[in-house]
């Protein structure tokens, strides 16, 4: 009943928005929509004003969050001290057919963070191939972590990232984490910066209603200069937009590269089902099961 009500409210909102646009279009002279008319330039100008005003708005909001709001909140988190520490940290990594060099860099950073964060930590490896498992075991033995740091392997059939996440979440649920435990979901191509775990996990004690948070990303492009610069620009724009939306305390997606959730969220059966088997029902073509986009499904959950 609640979903039906939500759907009807959304439909009503879209109908109102479309009606407003159609009414505005009907009120304009027809020459505005004629490409041969000199008035056509006003239509292009209106689209340009809307486009760039949105960009300017996001930039201003992003700077406000990045340089005013976030530093203020960070000081509040630091004042909490050890009282903000979670009871347990789970670092879950999903890997499938990623080159050995990248895999080694990723797990080296994950194991390092598990050791240096100073908290009870379990590294959950959601793997397909035995070669990856042997590589991780070798690195684990070399790092020789303390007893508070554990290693847990989850073998998956290689049917997609969504299945890998679902298997990993169920493995974490078997540990029966309490309400103060947190889970970091990390992609198999993501190298963690030093101290990122210690910086992210205390936020859940500052905000009781936060179910998850996402992180900033930097890209390392092994290619030409143009492609490298394009990716850097794309990630910078993403960061500004994320900061803008964070000013409203809600982002549009929980990035798959590294996001942190409360353990009670990712161990919820409904959340796992949403991530594992999200789909789109089309009136004519039937049901489409999503193979990617798990970061969007988790947001809707």
State pLDDT tens for residues 124-183: 999 988 999 999 999 999 999 999 999 999 988 877 778 888 899 999 999 999 999 999
What domains, with CATH codes, occur in the chain?
A: 43-82+216-251 (no CATH), 85-212+255-300 (3.90.550.10)
Is the pTM above the cut of 0.85?
no
Please state the rounded mean pLDDT for residues 2-28.
Answer: 84
Q: How far apart are CA 140 and CA 56, in angstroms?
A: 47
Average pLDDT, the chain: 88
Please check whether residue 286 is in contact with residue 243, taking contact to mean a CB–CB distance below 8 angstroms. Answer: no
């Amino acid at each position: 009943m609640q979903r039906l009500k939500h759907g009807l409210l959304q439909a009503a909102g879209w109908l109102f928005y479309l009606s407003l646009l159609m009414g505005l279009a009907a009120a304009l002279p027809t020459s505005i929509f004629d490409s041969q008319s000199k008035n056509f330039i006003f239509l292009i100008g209106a689209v340009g004003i809307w486009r760039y005003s949105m960009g300017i708005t996001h930039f201003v909001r992003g700077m406000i969050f990045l340089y005013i709001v976030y530093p203020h909140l960070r000081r509040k988190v630091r004042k909490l001290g050890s009282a903000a520490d979670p009871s347990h940290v789970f670092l879950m990594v999903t890997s499938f057919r990623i080159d050995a060099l990248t895999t080694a860099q990723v797990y080296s950073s994950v194991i390092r963070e598990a050791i240096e964060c100073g908290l009870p930590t379990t590294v959950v490896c959601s793997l397909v191939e035995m070669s990856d498992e042997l590589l991780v075991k070798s690195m684990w033995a070399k790092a020789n972590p303390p007893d508070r740091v554990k290693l847990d392997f989850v073998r998956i059939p290689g049917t997609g990232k969504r299945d890998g996440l679902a298997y990993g979440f169920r493995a974490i649920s078997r540990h029966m984490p309490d309400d103060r435990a947190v889970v970091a979901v990390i992609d198999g191509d993501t190298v963690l910066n030093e101290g990122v775990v210690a910086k992210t996990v205390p936020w859940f004690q500052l905000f009781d209603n936060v179910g998850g948070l996402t992180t900033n990303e930097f890209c390392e492009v092994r290619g030409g200069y143009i492609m490298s610069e394009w990716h850097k620009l794309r990630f910078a724009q993403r960061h500004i937009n994320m900061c803008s939306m964070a000013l409203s305390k809600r982002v549009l997606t929980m990035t798959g590269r590294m996001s942190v959730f409360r353990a009670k969220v990712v161990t919820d059966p409904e959340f796992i089902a949403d991530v594992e088997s999200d789909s789109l029902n089309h009136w004519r073509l039937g049901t489409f099961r999503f193979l990617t986009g798990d970061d969007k499904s988790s947001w809707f959950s």
